[in-house]
Amino acid sequence: MTYRQSFAWWSFTTDAENPALLDSAAEIGYQGVDFLPQDHWNRARDVGLELTIIDGHISLEVGFNDRANHTDLADEVRRNLELAVKAGVPGLAVNAGNRGAASDADAVGICAEGLAPLAAEAAAAGVTLLLEPLNSKVDHVGNQCDHTAWAASVVDAVASPGLRLLFDAYHMQLMEGDLLRTMETHLDRIAHVHTAGVPGRHDLDDRQEVNWRSIAHLLHDRGYGGYVAHEFIPRADPVAALRTAYAIFDEPMSAQL
């Protein structure tokens, strides 16, 4: 088993809607698309792209680290879980939210308390909730889930196949680095991976600091079977950027042929 490749719709269509991008991605070899608006779902299916992940709840700032949010968030996640089941979407993104009164240690338990029943429901429906650590330096100042170990503690506390990590290498390079060792340590908890160049969140090229080929080979060699989804904002032509990113992560598979 090895990974498949996807891309995040929002980051490649920042200036205008471009449904033809779905056709181009499929021609390159992509198998999925993240966070695709519903009005493009039929076109994605028509060209053979899986709807890989949608939002379980909209706000990144209001999350499961506060019990006061649990009821409203659970209602929102359940609505989107029903939508995911109907549409065949395997992943729902969930978030801890910005820091509040709870310490980091206490917030782990609070998140687990809110997510556990939802994870059980998701697992029973064949869907996985995906908790994403975000960087609190640049893009999500104040977010409590800003290190891999913290997010992994929530996953372990819930102890359900219905909750796994969405490991965004861009965010975690900014916060902690040590990507290869961190990913290998937590690979059994990771169900989805995001990429973007650091710094700047742009192309996977020689103008940023991450060795993406080494990450591709690690995931391939360790038998990672989820999606690698590119979530960066291309500097120029989005199709060319998608083609370059795809080639980097296709390299380990091509080397086997």
Query: What is the dihedral angle through the alpha carbons of 170, 172, 173, 177, rounded to the nearest 10 degrees?
Result: -160
132 is an active site residue: yes
Name the nearest CA neighbour of 130 among 30, 8, 217, 252. 8
* Residue of 76, 121, 132, 176 marked active site: 132
Q: State the Cα angle at 35 between 33 and 36, rounded to 5°.
A: 70
* Residue of 50, 61, 209, 231 marked active site: 231
- If phi over 0 gives left and psi between -120 and 50 gives alpha, with beta otherwise, what is residue 241? alpha
The residues, any chain, with a CB within 8 Å of residue 235's CB and separated by 6 or more, are 202, 203, 241
Q: What is d(CA 50, CA 196) in angstroms, rounded to the nearest whole number?
A: 21
Tokens of 128: 């996985």
Q: Which residue has the tokens 């989820």?
A: 226
76 is an active site residue: no
Q: Which residues are catalytic?
A: 132, 231
